[in-house]
Amino acid sequence: MASLASLVHTVGGCIHQKNGPQLRSLLRLDDSPTQEAVFQSWHANPRWNPAAAASRLPEDWSDFLAHHWACIMELQKGQREKAYDQIVATLQPFIKIFREDPDDWLVGPMHAVVHNLRGVAEAADEELQAAGKPASKLGDCGDQLRKCFSVALQAPGNRGKKLAALDIVNVSIKTYFKLNTLRLCKNLTRTVDSRQFAPFESFPKSQKVTYKFYLGRLAIFDENYQEARESLEYALRHCPRSAATSKALILKYLVPVQLLAGTLPSRQLVQQYHLDQYLPLMEAMKRGDLALFDATMEKQQFQFIQEEPSKAAQIPLSWVQAALKSQLQSNPTPGAFDQELEWEMDEVECVCANLIHRKYVRGYISHKNKVMVVAKSDPFPPLSSISPVDT
C-alpha cells in the first residue's frame, strides 16, 4: 500500500536527482501510487491539508505539489470544478521552477502538467454543463496553455527546454478544435515554422505525428488540400505499425483528401480501418460512373459532413453557383441567349447577401474564403417567421 510519506520521499528524490521521466509519471493524474496515497490521507482525515505534507519538499515545489495533490483529492471527491481551480494554481509555481532551473530535465514534467490541465478542464466543463451552467474552463485552459508555451519557447537558461514546446502546441490545437476556435491555431503553426522554434526533427516522433495530423486537419478547413495531403501522409508514414487506432483516425481524413486529388487508396486498406463508406465513391471514380457518385453523395452527405464538423457551418459559394446554374438549365426562359447565361461569383455573393439581409439565412459571407458561414443553430428560419417586406 502506497503511503504519503513514501510518495513525498520518492518525489523528493526525483527533484534532487533531476529524474524527469520518473517525476513525469508521478505527476500523471492516473498514477496509481499517487492516487492511493492521496486517497488514504484524506479518507483517514477529512480535514487533511496537502500543504502540510508538501512542506517537506523544496520551496516552490511544495506549493506546486500541494495544489497538485489537492486537485487529485477533489477529483476523487467528484468535485471537478474545484479540481480545475487547484490544477490552475499549480501553474505559477511550476512555471517559476521551469524558468529558474538551469537544466532541461523538466521538459517531461511540463508535458504532464499541460495534459493534466486540459483533462481536468474538460471534466470541469462536463460538471458545469450538467448543472446547467456555462462551460468556461476549457476556454480558460487555452489561456493557461499560452503561459506554458511562452516559457517553453523562451527556454531560459537552456535551449533544451524548447523541446517542451511542440507538445504544448498539440494540446493547445486539440483544445481549439474542441472549442471550434481554429483561428487561434494560426499563430501557433507560424511559430512552429519560425527560427524561434527548435528544429522540427529534434522532437519525439509521437509529437511530430500528432502535430502533422492536426496540421492536415487545419489545411482541410482552409481547403488547402495539397498541404493537407502532405501533412496527413507524413503522419501516416511515421505512425507506429502497432498504433491501429491512430492510423484509422489519420486515414479518416486522408482518404477523402486523396479522393479529391483523384488518388484511390487500396480497397484492402479502406476495409482494414473500417472506412467502408468510401467504397462506393471509389468504385464510382474507378468506373467513371457519375450516377453512382451522385447517388452515394446524396445518401451519405450527412455522414461525410459529420467527419469534419468544423466545416458543417460553411457552405462554399461554388455550391450555390452550381445550384443556380442547374436551376437555370432545368427551367430555361425562351431565347437562346437566356440559356447561355452563367452565374458569376460576384452575382452569387449578391444573391447570398440578399438572402442574409432578408433574414432567409442566418449567417455572413466570407469573401476571402468564398464561403457562406451559416449559424450552427437554426441557420434557415421557417418562412412563416420572415417578413416579405425589406427591413
pLDDT tens-place string over residues 117-138 = 999 999 999 999 999 999 999 9
- Please tell me the pTM assigned to this model: 0.77
- Which amino acid belongs to residue 365? I
Distances (CA, A) of 245 to 229, 249, 268: 19, 6, 16
DSSP 334-363: SSHHHHT----HHHHHHHHHHHHHTTSS-E
- What rounded mean pLDDT belongs to the chain? 89
49-80: per-residue pLDDT in tens?
Answer: 999 999 999 989 999 999 999 999 999 999 99
Q: Which three cell numbers stand for residue 364?
A: 455572413
Q: Write down the pLDDT at residue 318.
A: 86
The residue with greater pLDDT, 45 or 305, is 45
The residue with greater pLDDT, 242 or 329, is 242
Question: Any residues with CB less than 8 A from the CB of 73 and at least 6 apart, and which?
Answer: 38, 39, 41, 42, 48, 50
Torsion of CA 368, 369, 372, 377, to 10 degrees: -120
- Which amino acid belongs to residue 261? A
Query: What integer is the mean pLDDT of 188-196?
Result: 96
The C-alpha atoms of residue 72 and residue 30 are separated, in whole angstroms, by 9
The C-alpha atoms of residue 168 and residue 164 are separated, in whole angstroms, by 7
Q: Write down the pLDDT at residue 170.
A: 98
Q: Write down the pLDDT at residue 263.
A: 85
Helix (H, G, I), strand (E, B) or coil at 314: strand
Question: Any residues with CB less than 8 A from the CB of 315 and at least 6 apart, and which?
Answer: 371, 372, 373, 374
* Most confident of the following: 140-144, 219-223, 293-297: 140-144
The C-alpha atoms of residue 344 and residue 99 are separated, in whole angstroms, by 57
Q: Write down the pLDDT at residue 259.
A: 87
Q: Write down the pLDDT at residue 390.
A: 47
Q: Which three cell numbers stand for residue 285?
A: 471514380
The residue with greater pLDDT, 110 or 331, is 110
Assess contact for 123 and 75: CB atoms under 8 A: yes
The C-alpha atoms of residue 122 and residue 48 are separated, in whole angstroms, by 26
Query: What integer is the mean pLDDT of 153-165?
Result: 96
The C-alpha atoms of residue 104 and residue 127 are separated, in whole angstroms, by 36
Give 373's strand partners.
314, 364
Query: What integer is the mean pLDDT of 144-165?
Result: 96
Phi, psi of 232 (to 5 degrees): -70, -35
Minimum mean pLDDT range among 5-19, 208-222, 326-340: 326-340
Flag whether pLDDT at 311 surpasses 70.
no
Query: What integer is the mean pLDDT of 380-385?
Result: 76
Minimum mean pLDDT range among 139-143, 171-175, 326-330: 326-330
Through-space distance between the first and last CA atoms of the chain, rounded to whole angstroms? 73
The residue with greater pLDDT, 355 or 343, is 355
18-56: per-residue pLDDT in tens?
Answer: 999 999 999 999 999 999 999 999 999 989 999 999 999
Flag whether pLDDT at 302 surpasses 70.
no
Q: Which three cell numbers stand for residue 195?
A: 527560427
Determine the angle formed by the axes of helices 61-76 and 32-44, rounding to 10 degrees: 80
Minimum mean pLDDT range among 68-82, 133-147, 199-213, 353-367: 353-367
Residue with cell 500528432: 210
Flag whether pLDDT at 328 surpasses 80.
no
Q: Write down the pLDDT at residue 307.
A: 58
